[in-house]
Amino acid sequence: LHCCPSNSPYLLTESLNELEDHDLDALVADLGCKSSQPELSTPPQSSSLPDDRTPPPPAMTPSSNTAESSQSKPQTKAEKIKLALEKLKEAKVRKLIVKVLMGDGSSKTLMVNERQTVRQVLDKLLEKTHCDSSIDWSVCETNPELQNERGFEDHEYLVELLCAWTRHSENKIYFVLRPQKYVMFTDPQLFYMWKKSKTVLSGVNQQAKELLIKEHFGGSTLIVPDLEGTLYLKEDGKKVWKSRYFVLRASGIYYVPKGKTKSCSDLACFVHFEKVNIYTTSNYKEKYRAPTNFCFILKHPCIQKESHYIKFLCCDNEHTLLLWVNSIRIAKYGAVLYKNYQEAVKRASTLQGVDSALHTDQYNGLTTQVSPQTNPNPPKTTNVEEYPHEPPPDFIPPPPPGHICTLDHKKTHIRERRLDL
């Protein structure tokens, strides 16, 4: 990630240089519109005019204005960057230049303003990378010092999240598929029937899943999974982990003190969710001598280094980790999470419909060109110039197992025929 503040002109210039030309043009145009709005919105002074008169229209000189604009319009990339720097100083909306890393090590550089949600950034990335329309695409942050990561929620504002990082942070942003992003809606029985056997859970049909979602998310009050069980808690400042019995509630996580029962009156608050986020971790068995590598932490987003304010928890297995991490997300975000899921499904359906229509049109156009009715005496040789050709996208992230990016196989076939010729 490059988060370039306005008081760092060298870094900002370097990051602007990484933007693609059309993105840089769009940035300059956007900043130009915003800077000119105050002048356009200033009403004329009518107090000096008689009541029966209206102010004359301003003189229009389109030819001179057009000539001036054509001469002053920046042509080279260096001129565009210079103009963008000037406009950024005048802009009132915070903007960050963000480098998003892909699965194959390549990256995309975006200009993001403080009004854009993660969902809007995802749509921009999907447009740039030409990936499939899976609801599992996510923008994630990683912290190499704490060895943790978190998938940003679609309703969050990306600039606000990134501004919580320290100035010289080594954190990175990734564009990846996370199959567990909306698992609480694709497989709600895992969370609301978690005490049942695996055989029972695997036999739940789609209709039963929809009823579970409606029951727990469709009412006026969100119902949080009644999750509870033994987790390992890391002691402050030590690489020592002790088991405790934890209980999930809508307001936070509670634990059973020693010598007490699991009744509500005996539970002690462990952490509230208002000011903390949940992060998954990597290799904590080696870093902190955790019992397993299935750990998660709860911390304020501004805490970027090891601190006694971080809550470290460890699970026995991957399935328990999945239950706790996503149940905490349900408790923290509630109905907003369900709304994000609905918007993601709607967006994916729209993109699939557009792709399907596009492929149908391309196929019809291709068959029309080779149809005998169109050309009753086709030549023996094939003119490859008749076939439609579009350059491939500049980047296609490698799909994880079980996910396939949407490609036009007909075009691939045509390109192979060109090579043969």
In a domain? residue 196:
yes
Q: 221 with 187, same domain?
A: yes
Q: Which of 157, 179, 201 is the last residue of a domain?
A: 179
Between the alpha carbon of residue 96 and those of residues 11, 116, 196, 235, the distances in Å are 11, 11, 47, 38
> Count of domains in the chain?
2
Which domain CATH number covers 117? 3.10.20.90
* Per-residue pLDDT, 309: 94
Q: 263 with 203, same domain?
A: yes
Rounded Cα distance between 83 and 71, Å, is 14
**Half-sphere exposure of 308 toward its Cβ, with a 13 Å CA cutoff?**
4
Buried b / exposed e along 251-273 (16+ C-beta atoms within 10 A): ebbbbbeeeeeeeeeebeebbeb
Length of the chain as a residue count: 421
β-pair partners for 320: none
Q: 212 with 325, same domain?
A: yes
pLDDT band at residue 340 using 50, 70 and 90 as cut-offs: very high
Reported as a single tens digit per residue, the pLDDT across 246-292 is 999 998 999 999 888 888 888 999 999 999 999 999 999 999 999 99
* Per-residue pLDDT, 90: 63
Reported as a single tens digit per residue, the pLDDT across 109-128 is 998 999 999 999 999 999 98
Which domain CATH number covers 332? 2.30.29.30
Reported as a single tens digit per residue, the pLDDT across 146-178 is 999 999 999 999 999 999 998 888 999 999 999
* Per-residue pLDDT, 398: 53
Q: 330 with 189, same domain?
A: yes
Q: 150 with 218, same domain?
A: no
DSSP string of 265-330? GG-EEEEESTT-EEEEES-HHHHS--SSS-EEEEE-TT--S--TTPEEEE-SSHHHHHHHHHHHHH
Q: 134 with 23, same domain?
A: yes
In terms of residue numbers, what domain contains 330? 183-338
Q: Which of 179, 203, 235 is the last residue of a domain?
A: 179
Cβ-in-10-Å burial (0-12, 13-18, 19+) of 390 comes to exposed
Instruction: Tell me the whole-structure pTM to 2 decimals.
Output: 0.68
**Is residue 294 within 8 Å of residue 159, measured between CB atoms?**
no
Comparing 58 with 163, the larger pLDDT belongs to 163
Q: 258 with 238, same domain?
A: yes
**Is residue 110 within 8 Å of residue 4, measured between CB atoms?**
no
In a domain? residue 199:
yes
CA proximity to 144, closest of 170, 125, 121: 170
What residue type is assigned to position 267 of the chain?
Answer: L
Q: Which of 280, 311, 338 is the last residue of a domain?
A: 338
Q: What is the mean pLDDT of residues 328-340?
A: 95
In a domain? residue 262:
yes
Q: 117 with 157, same domain?
A: yes
Highest mean pLDDT among 41-45, 145-149, 369-373, 377-381: 145-149
* Per-residue pLDDT, 86: 74
Q: 127 with 157, same domain?
A: yes
CA proximity to 324, closest of 344, 297, 306: 297
Reported as a single tens digit per residue, the pLDDT across 61-70 is 444 444 444 4
In a domain? residue 311:
yes
Q: 324 with 268, same domain?
A: yes
* Per-residue pLDDT, 292: 97
The percentage of the chain sitting over the pLDDT mark of 90, rounded to a whole number, equals: 50
Comparing 237 with 328, the larger pLDDT belongs to 328
| pLDDT tops 80 at residue 216 | yes
| pLDDT tops 60 at residue 188 | yes
* Per-residue pLDDT, 264: 81
**Half-sphere exposure of 126 toward its Cβ, with a 13 Å CA cutoff?**
23
**Half-sphere exposure of 7 toward its Cβ, with a 13 Å CA cutoff?**
1
On average, the pLDDT of the chain sits at 78
Q: 157 with 198, same domain?
A: no
**Is residue 147 within 8 Å of residue 283, measured between CB atoms?**
yes
Q: 148 with 251, same domain?
A: no
What residue type is assigned to position 179 of the chain?
Answer: P
Local structure of 56: helix, strand or coil: coil
* Per-residue pLDDT, 73: 66
